[in-house]
Chain A
Amino acid sequence: MTTTHPFARTDQSRFGVWWWTTDRLLMSAVAALIVLGVLLSFASSPAAAARIGIADPFHFALRQCLYAAAGAAILLSVSMLSPRGVRRAAFFIYGASILVMIALPFLGHAAKGADRWLQIAGFTLQPSEFMKPALIVLASWMFAEAQKGQGVPGVSIAFGLYAVAVVLLLLQPDVGQTVLITTAFGAAFFMAGVPIRWILGLGGGAVSGFVLIYLTFGHVAARMHKFLSPDKTDTLQVDKAGEAIAAGGLFGRGPGEGLMKRHVPDLHTDFIFAVAGEEYGLLFLLLLIGLLGFVVIRGLYKAMRLNDPFEQIASAGLFVLVGLQTFINIAMVLKMIPTKGMTLPFISYGGSSMLASALTLAMALALTRRRPGAYAPAAEGFGPSAAALP
């Protein structure tokens, strides 16, 4: 009996090559996350819509479906790129994002006290979300170039790119993203082989930078105070999030049975984890943590075994970005760190978050695809030998 697989192993079409070279476990985990995000948006959408006064209860859920479709398209198309294509894409995305961020104060859509959003045809986009993965890819490229010692001042260029991004983020002001890209950038620099002495120095710089931010930006200080002395200040969102998760217990209160989403603003975006816990319970939360953790750790494992320094650093940096964002969001909901405006990749409601998460993962998948000589020999212990592919 002959199997009629849709893509034969010998299929040399663009899609066929993509299918056989992309890490299908990572791909499946990401697909599962997107589906779960849509599922959760159906639970949280009616309450969020009712609170804002939107008549259609599934306003947010339908939009999330649209974002999910767009995210899937980005995942598919970008993950087909070659490492060189990824670099090019990152270059253009970084440039475009920076330009839009510069222009934001003039054409931006101020919401909730910050100029972060760009409104296009009824949808709002947050350009800084797309800048993050692009910056990591470009910085990794520059670190890799600097390693080669061929006269490219890579470290300086990388820091320059980083500095431009941070200045623009702080102007918005968006301290959460600043912390995120600083940490991810630092991780990339670390992985590129920076001496330990430098790490200590840069660590000191980061700490003093954070102290400076703390002293300069009122709302960051307020959030810190809230976190450090929870009795004295209003911590409605975090408290209610904690109560929601506690109420959910092991199995949850049941789909649609959550109450907190009706009482607390923004639960469908930054606090979606609490909604999930209340309605679907701890087992579902562990599934979410497990899926995201699997993506990050398997991604880093793949990155570790790559041969090319740029591919190593860039893909690892992108997975670190996803991991950090996951950590900051969940840790915030669980009261482990102060509140930050940070979405949970693929799960939180929002177009920018979904598309940017898709872009990040797509670039990472593109870099970790199997190509001849891409992986250390040990990595090819099973499956088709890389040499079999042209």
Chain B
Amino acid sequence: MTVAPLPSPAPGLGQALRMGARAIWRLEHAFERARAANRPADDTRLRIFFILALFVCVFAALAYEATRAALFSPVGEDVYAAPPPLVVRADLTDRNGELLAADITHYGLYLDPKDVWDPDQTRAALLKAYPKLARERLDRALAGKRREYLAGGLDAAEREAIHDLGLPGVQFEEEARRDYPLGQTGAHLIGYADPSGKGLAGAERGLDGAIHAAAARSEPVALAMDLRVQSALDDELRRAVSTFSAVGGAGLVVDVQTGEILALSSWPAFDPNAPGAAPQNLVANRPYELGSVFKVFTLAVALDQGLATLDSTFDVRMPLQIGDARPIHDHEKGDTVLTLAQVFTHSSNIGAAKLALRAGPAVMGDYFHRLGLFGAAPSELAESARPLVPRQLSELTLANIAFGQGISVTPLALATGMTAVLNGGRYIPLTIRKLGPGQAPQGRRVISEATSRTMLDLMRRNVVEGSGKQVEKLAPGLRVGGKTGSAQKVENGRYGANNVSSFAAVFPTDGPADAKRYFVLITLDSPKATKDTYGFITAGWNAAPTAGRVIDRVAPFLGVARRAGPALDAAPAASPAGTGMHD
């Protein structure tokens, strides 16, 4: 097309409009001409067909893409995956991975009265399917306007029974609940947590932070406990308390070299699934006057200070009179002069008191302090209680604590001190957590390795020829050493007829200072005499045999082999004839 020559320059609006109009006219005619020239009549049809074909392709593409998206695309996991189980607290296991406590998803039952169709039917059906439901609560919720919480802790079967009723307005929400599959076994060591996930007792309380942290990592928390040892200890302690009609009992098994608590028992026990008013943890929470087991400490101090040797002699003919206090007697009558070893095996109060007086209050106080006997046992267990100790160490109090009177410590504190005496002389806080290889603390030195060795021999000798004789029969070949302790129990402010009987045992006593060794403590509160004890209530007749049975049962689990042979490995067998049961 030819472009019309532009009009002579006379710029203005009118001219611009005219120019625009002419341009449009040309455009319109171009369209018209193009339309008219050499076009078949159905040109528009052809073009519509072109677009139709295009849309066939478009819809085919949509169908293809939809198929790809629906069948060949990854499904987002986050929305469609089943929600992860509600875990607030990590699993607790024993040292071998046996499950002690776990969060299991339970369900809370809710009622929204707005959605309820038939209140009477809902009420009847709910009570039939779940009889534990509180009637008044249900009635209040049905009469109310807001969504109400009816009950918690429904397990999956209970939830299903209610859910299957198909009642409108009845709803469930997941809630984590702590489950203790073992029930009473190890209850005081494991402890328990409240429904909100807060640890209230035992390891659940002591390791609360670690348990929450481990839950975030989905890892279990392993206790030092060995479930096999724990159940044997639980069993024997329960039987002892029952046999001797005791008020209560405490038991401990500790790895002497690492300080790991392999078992901890307190009777009466409880079920952590329904703790209610759980009975006291007698191991960690109850200070007792533990009596002659303290002679282990007194002799260790004297030997470590070089104040006496095993052959030093002590005149025990006369009761020891300090000031105008009650004189200190020995239980064994007729002894005259005893060696230091016999002071231990005869359990001479006079001998122990004399040793303490020889050491003096400063040295004794220093050692007892470093053995942890003047403070609460350092432990993860929050129950660990402070001892009752003399306000000041006078001659009299010093002489008394030498044989375990006038000082009350928890069995846990006693065990911690004993461990230090028996492991080569290092004070290590006992732990309820499993320690990995190389994690065992070195501890701080309290007595020398040589003193520790001597004490092991003395304790072994006491079992062979002293107050622990019953043990040797019950746990043959396990080289058990031990010391009894029978303290008159303070009742209503004065010493009464009942006593607290303990046996502190260690096995095996042979081998080098760092050999595998286990400490076992049994304490019985107010045991009664039976036919078999010939009327005695002293530890040699109740706590010691109990410890012997425990040792006999757990030694195989702990890898301690029985060994036949001479009763005493190293200690000189200077045994006077006719020694009976000492205390």
Q: Which residues of A contact B (CB under 8 A)?
A: 146-149, 153-156, 187, 190-195, 198, 239-240, 242-243, 245-250, 259-260, 263, 277, 281-282, 285-286, 289-290, 292-293, 296-297, 300-301, 303-305, 309, 312-313, 316, 320, 323, 326-327, 330-331, 334-336, 376
Contact = CB atoms under 8 A, between A and B. Distances in A.
Interface stretch (B65-73, B132-140, B482-490): B65-73
B55 A300 contact: yes
Contact of A304 (B28, B45, B65, B67): B45
B58 A327 contact: yes
A313 B28 contact: no
Contact of B34 (A187, A193, A316): A193
B58 A323 contact: yes
Contacts of B51: 187, 190-191, 300, 316, 320
B25 interface: yes
18 contacts: A155-B28, A156-B27, A243-B75, A247-B80, A277-B70, A285-B66, A286-B67, A289-B66, A293-B63, A297-B56, A313-B44, A316-B48, A326-B62, A330-B62, A330-B66, A331-B62, A335-B69, A336-B61
Interface stretch (B35-43, B330-338, B391-399, B410-418): B35-43
A190 B47 contact: yes
Nearest to A194: B31
Given A301-B52, A320-B51, A245 B62 contact: no
Interface residues of B, number: 40
Given A147-B35, A312-B45, A250 B71 contact: yes
Contact of B65 (A149, A292, A300, A336): A336
Given A149-B32, A263-B79, A193 B47 contact: yes
B79 A259 contact: yes
Nearest to A143: B31
Contact of A282 (B30, B67, B76): B67
B169 to A, nearest CB: 15
Contacts of B156: none
Contacts of A327: 58-59, 62
Contact of B59 (A292, A303, A316): A292
B86 interface: no
A305 B52 CA distance: 12
B495 interface: no
B276 interface: no
A12 to B, nearest CB: 32
A320 B59 CA distance: 12
A316 B51 CA distance: 9
A192 B55 CA distance: 18
Given A146-B28, A259-B80, A297-B55, A246 B48 contact: no
Contacts of B59: 289-290, 292-293, 296-297, 323, 327
Q: Interface residues of B: mostly helix, strand, loop or mixed? A: helix
B44 A192 contact: yes
A292 B69 CA distance: 19
B74 interface: yes
A245 B51 CA distance: 29
Nearest to B21: A153
Contacts of A300: 48-49, 51-52, 55
Contacts of B70: 245-246, 248-250, 277, 281-282, 285
B24 interface: yes
Contacts of B73: 242, 245-246
Contacts of A249: 70-71
Interface of B: 24-25, 27-32, 34-36, 39, 42-45, 47-49, 51-52, 55-56, 58-59, 61-63, 65-67, 69-71, 73-76, 79-80
A240 B61 CA distance: 21
Contacts of B80: 247, 259
Given A153-B24, A246-B76, A334-B65, A312 B55 contact: no
A154 B31 CA distance: 10
List 5 A-B pairs, minimum CB-CB distance, nearest first.
A293-B59, A243-B76, A282-B70, A149-B32, A300-B52
B457 to A, nearest CB: 73
Nearest to A313: B44
Contacts of B42: 376
Contact of A334 (B25, B49, B62): B62
Q: Interface residues of A: mostly helix, strand, loop or mixed? A: helix
Contact of B66 (A282, A305, A316, A376): A282
B79 A260 contact: yes
Contacts of A296: 55, 59
B79 A243 contact: yes
Contact of B28 (A153, A187, A326): A153
A289 B62 contact: yes
Contacts of B74: 246
- The CB with the most chain B CB atoms within 10 A, among A187, A190, A304, is that of A304
B66 to A, nearest CB: 5
A248 B79 CA distance: 13
A245 B80 CA distance: 12
A303 B48 contact: yes
A125 B583 CA distance: 101
A245 B69 contact: yes
A247 B28 CA distance: 55
Given A149-B35, A240-B76, A297-B59, 14 more contacts: A146-B28, A147-B35, A190-B51, A245-B69, A250-B70, A260-B79, A282-B66, A285-B66, A285-B70, A289-B62, A293-B62, A296-B55, A334-B65, A334-B66
Nearest to B46: A304
B512 to A, nearest CB: 64
Nearest to B24: A156
Nearest to B60: A293
A146 B28 CA distance: 7
Contacts of A242: 69, 73
B67 A146 contact: no
Nearest to B37: A195
A53 B38 CA distance: 64
A191 B75 contact: no
B39 A193 contact: yes
B32 A245 contact: no
A149 B509 CA distance: 123
A224 to B, nearest CB: 20
A2 B70 CA distance: 50
Given A146-B32, A245-B73, A331 B44 contact: no
A148 B74 CA distance: 57
Contact of B55 (A245, A277, A290, A323): A323
